[in-house]
Amino acid sequence: MKPGKFITLEGVDGAGKSTHLDYLTDKIRSQGVELVVTREPGGTPLGEKLRTLLLNDPMQPDTELMLMYAARAEHVAGLIKPALVRGAWVLSDRFADASYAYQCGGRGIDAARLESLEIWTLSGFKPDLTLLFDVSPEVAEARRSQARAADRFEQEQVDFFKRVREAYLHRAEREPGRIKVIDASHSIENIRAELDRIMESL
């Protein structure tokens, strides 16, 4: 049995990930591949409880980072790896690059702390492909849903999202083979054409 592929979607809040996630889901499933669609923080019963805390309860940046990794440890062991081993593909709305962008970039936590958590919980496990939807914080802010109350992250100011974006782009520069940067200010048609091209290579 060939192991499945692990694909993650990243970007600042409001970059349009959800729309593209639906497109990719349909595209992959139309190839007859078993696909597990999941998200972080979350993806397991315990992870979803941690998500509720993370998105709503005030906490220290270190607490936030460690809870993200606690949820991730559950997610990887309980859902992602078993799916990949049985040959399914996994599409996750965010993964470890988000911790680097939000907790290190946004909150200012030293990257060495994150790296030690990464070695501990992931031991080198990485997505096969990461799609980074890149857009300016100003455009992202205008796009963010007004339909529901903003969560703890969405309430942050533009400067926070500028740092998050820079950290994402820095990560992409370091790992250009895995992380593909997509200009999310383009039209949906252009973005879909680019996604089609990238997915061909998988």
Residues that contact ligand TMP, how many (by CB under 6 A) = 12
HSE of 82, CA atoms in CB hemisphere, 13 A: 7
Nearest Cα to Cα of residue 7 among 30, 29, 43, 35: 35
x/- map, 10-29, ligand TMP, by CB under 6 A: ---x----------------
Distance CA 27, CA 21 (A): 10
Compute the Cα dihedral for 100, 23, 90, 127 and give only its sign.
negative
Distance CA 7, CA 2 (A): 16
> Which range binds ligand TMP by CB under 6 A, 27-35, 98-106, 109-117, 136-144?
98-106
Residue among 14, 16, 41, 43 that touches ligand TMP (CB under 6 A): 41
Query: CB of residue 1 vs ligand TMP: minimum separation in angstroms?
Result: 29
x/- map, 127-166, ligand TMP, by CB under 6 A: --------------------------x-------------
Q: Which tokens in the block code for residue 70?
A: 């606690």
Region at 2 (left for phi over 0; alpha for psi -120 to 50; beta for the rest): beta
Query: CB of residue 13 vs ligand TMP: minimum separation in angstroms?
Result: 5
Residues near ligand TMP, by CB under 6 A: 13, 39-41, 68, 93-94, 98-99, 102-103, 153
